A and B are shown apart, each in its own frame.
Chain A
């Protein structure tokens, strides 16, 4: 089992460019999440999907869109990248009940120039 996979691992964009971060999990989890982590900071939730077919905003959704393509895949899109979106992006998945651990992917390190 690969767990949670993310692509790409690194990306450099110019201001105004767009890109999609891909995430897939093979643990049959219902819920998936996208976080961003700025240097020396905690994890902030961008969007999440409690179950296939649903998506909801998290703490910092502005400038992002998401798609829950199927139960396995949850993508994050930056339509017009800004330097403030330079960060490390983590995808995670879990069962949809309290107390179950969230499993994180290895992260995507994004720099916007």
Chain B
């Protein structure tokens, strides 16, 4: 089976940097995905890391260390609109399709 751990909540001010950590335990590993969900909305895809290292997409970056079973999402130059929940997810190696197991989510609150 799969399990993922991430902090439940993080609070920061506008312009700050926030790092959301995710540790995982899986029977097999393909890669780590990140999704964003605003209150009342649907999750939307942010990034996917299959290899070790940092992937940068604008203000958001995602990092993976396969040897440590660890990844993080880095939110830079925080804006009020970044207030949302962020979920890490791993694919189930034993399943067909692109079946994902999601972490419990980290709620990010951005204050003025």
Chain A partners chain B: yes
Is B98 in contact with A31, judged by CB distance below 8 angstroms?
yes
Chain B residues whose CB sits within 8 angstroms of the CB of A103 once the complex forms: 45
User: Which of A33, A50, A99, A104 lies in contact with B96, CB distance below 8 A?
Assistant: A50
Is B43 in contact with A90, judged by CB distance below 8 angstroms?
yes
Is B97 in contact with A48, judged by CB distance below 8 angstroms?
yes
CB distance from B31 to the nearest CB of A (A): 6
Chain A residues whose CB sits within 8 angstroms of the CB of B107 once the complex forms: 40
CB distance from B33 to the nearest CB of A (A): 7
Chain A residue total in the interface (Cβ 8 A): 32
Is A94 in contact with B98, judged by CB distance below 8 angstroms?
yes
Q: Chain B 90-112 against A: per-residue CB contact (8 Å), 1 yes, 0 no?
A: 01000111111111110100000
**17 additional contacts (CB under 8 A) given A33-B99, A54-B96:** A41-B105, A42-B87, A42-B105, A43-B87, A45-B100, A49-B97, A50-B99, A58-B99, A59-B101, A94-B98, A99-B30, A99-B31, A99-B48, A99-B91, A99-B98, A100-B98, A101-B33
